[in-house]
Amino acid sequence: MVMGKFLAKLGGGSPVQASDLTPEEISELMDGELDTERVEHACHALREVASMEAWIYYHVIGDTLRGCSGLAPGFAERFSARLGSEPTMLAPPPPRTAPAAVAWALAASAAAVSLVGWVALSMWSDMSPLPTAVATVQQATEVRAADARRPVENEYLLAHQQYSPTTAIQGVRPTLRAASAEEQDVRR
Amino acid sequence: MCAADVMAQAARQARVRVGSCVVVTAAALLLTRSALGCAPAGTSADPQAAEWLQRAAQAARSLNYSGTLVYRHNGREETTRVLHLADSSGEHEKLINLDGEAREVVRNNDQIRCYYPDAKVIRLESRASRNAFPSLMQQQRNTLAQYYNFNKAETERIAGLETQAYIFQPKDGLRYGHKLWADVATGLLVKAQLLNERGFPLEQFQFSDLQIGAKIDREMVRPTFTPPPADWQMVPGDTAPQDTGWQVKDLPPGFTKLVEGYRTLRGKPKKVAHLVYSDGLVAVSVFVEDMPEAPQPIGLSQQGGVNVYSRQLSDHLVTVLGETPSATVRQIAYSVAHR
């Protein structure tokens, strides 16, 4: 999570200058390095259009630099539509278990909640276990982050297995993969 | 200007950035391939790998065996009882999982039935991949040699049997490695691992005990639930071959289309387009359906050695999955287009 610091060094090169938040503050917020008081100030500032733009840009740049971006086309349209029908939510106290917990607390604010699935998923890189940040977000929002990631869709997996060449060399054994995933779904 | 408009604008710009990032990644992969001299052109077929696979497939089909199979992935372990009978009427196989919820898979030749007693569901599948092995198409034989190095590894005693390990080492970053242990006497696979880029096992199948040539009669491989209770649901699951109008424009090198058609999926109101691509060793499935009303998981997820990537494409949901690195399913997901 040093991406924020790196971006802050870009300084004037960032696409949008926040009116109330400095690039350093946004970076520290992303990295979970702001103290509680300044987080409150930052969250207030993020209600400003320019600050929110900068916040989004920083995440997009960070994701792009990390080479993992899961933004789906049509996101903007869906986001606008959903934001319009979004009820106001009160932020629960931010859990401090993960380094990014403070930053994630922002997710509980109404404006940011739809970004959660996107940001969280884009961080879910190959081979790494489920990041704590995702779990934290789910606890904090309990809204739709839970929908944003699930165990593999079993229907797809089962349909896929019968065409996999490994099925032919190993008999029906790879079917176990799907059976195993199904079990996880049931337990969920 | 309301906040939603600003967000929407930012998101639109973000999409442009994301798009170019994908292109850059793909280009970088191609460059790496060329730089390492792994370009596939002109490489001749490696009959050794293909013949070895055919022997393993033939052994799995023709032998009688019973054993206990342990499937290990993501720090979890699942144990399954396996029975296989080959007689004059063909092949009969039964798998019963020994931990957790009862599950049973029964195969009679190409027909597979999966029993889920807790859900009261029977899934019917036909094994459509039978053409892949052992009558391995020439193209697949070439692909294997072009994109994997096939090397003999160590000998090891597993489940009381002398085995010889072989490794399929991918020549590019778009495939995983495969390490397979076969019984020296019969060629039957006793252990299989899927290896990531760093050679770390993502998942493993291994017999903890195995009796080859065991005495197995038909009764032992019949479904436990015969006839199934009347209130159980039968779910058919075959892909009917048909032109779907969908295609993958930027297919990773070495992958060719095996199947294209429509199929029903449990919980989906309409039929789903299903396209399958293979490099001879693994397959990647592409599913395209109307965008469901309910929020969908978008992005990357993983199950054992299978990576899944989902994205929205105008009014459609595209889901790509396969036993490949995440980069491969992502690349395919972003190059799905309507013809």
Residues in chain A closer than 8 A to B290 (CB atoms): none
Count Cβ atoms within 10 A of the Cβ of residue A19 and give its class: 0-12 exposed, 13-18 middle, 19 or more buried: exposed
Q: If pLDDT is split at 50, 70 and 90, which confidence band does A103 have?
A: very low
CB B311 to CB A158 under 8 A? no
**DSSP collapsed to 3 states, B6-65:** HHHHHHHHHHHHHHHHHHHHHHHHHHHHHHCCCCCCCCCCCHHHHHHHHHHHHHHHHCCE
Could B129 and A186 be called an inter-chain contact, meaning their C-beta atoms sit closer than 8 Å? Answer: no
The dihedral region occupied by A11, where left means phi > 0, alpha psi between -120 and 50, and beta the remainder, is: left
Q: Is A186 on the interface with B (CB under 8 A)?
A: yes
Task: Name the amino acid, one letter, at B271.
Answer: K
Q: Percentage of chain A surpassing pLDDT 70?
A: 30
Q: Can you list the residues of chain B whose pLDDT is less than 70?
A: 1-47, 127-140, 237
**Min Cα–Cα distance to chain B from A32, Å:** 22
Please tell me the distance in Å from A100's CA to the nearest CA on chain B.
21
Mutate to test the interface with A, among B301, B313, B338 (most CBs of A within 10 A): B301
Neighbours of B163 (CB within 10 A): 21
How many other CB atoms are found less than 10 A from the CB of residue B110? 14
Alpha carbon of A103: minimum distance to chain B alpha carbons (Å): 18
pLDDT in tens, A23-43: 777 777 777 777 777 887 888
Surface-to-core class of residue B294, CB atoms within 10 Å of its CB (0-12 exposed, 13-18 middle, 19+ buried): exposed
pLDDT at B137: 60
Size of interface A-B (CB pairs under 8 A): 274
A72, A160, A173 member nearest B283 (Cβ): A160
Cβ contact B18:A71 at 8 Å: yes
Proportion of chain B above pLDDT 90, given as a percent: 41
In tens, the pLDDT along A108-141 reads: 222 222 222 222 222 222 222 233 333 223 222 2
> Within an 8 Å CB–CB cutoff, is residue A19 touching chain B?
no
Tokens for A80?
Answer: 């606008």
Distances B304 to A62, A172, B12, B274, B330 between C-alpha atoms, Å: 28, 16, 34, 22, 17
Please state the φ and ψ torsions of residue B272, each to the nearest 5 degrees. -115, 135
Identify residue B316 by its one-letter amino acid code. H
Report residue A110: phi and psi, to 5°.
-55, -40
Taking only the tens place, the pLDDT of each residue in B173-215 is 999 999 999 999 999 999 989 998 888 998 888 899 999 999 9
Mutate to test the interface with A, among B260, B302, B314 (most CBs of A within 10 A): B302
CB contact (8 A) between residue B297 and residue A127: no
Q: How far apart are CA A55 and CA A66, in angstroms?
A: 17
Closest-CA residue to A119 (of A70, A49, A52): A70
The answer to whether B11 contacts A165, with C-beta atoms less than 8 Å apart, is no
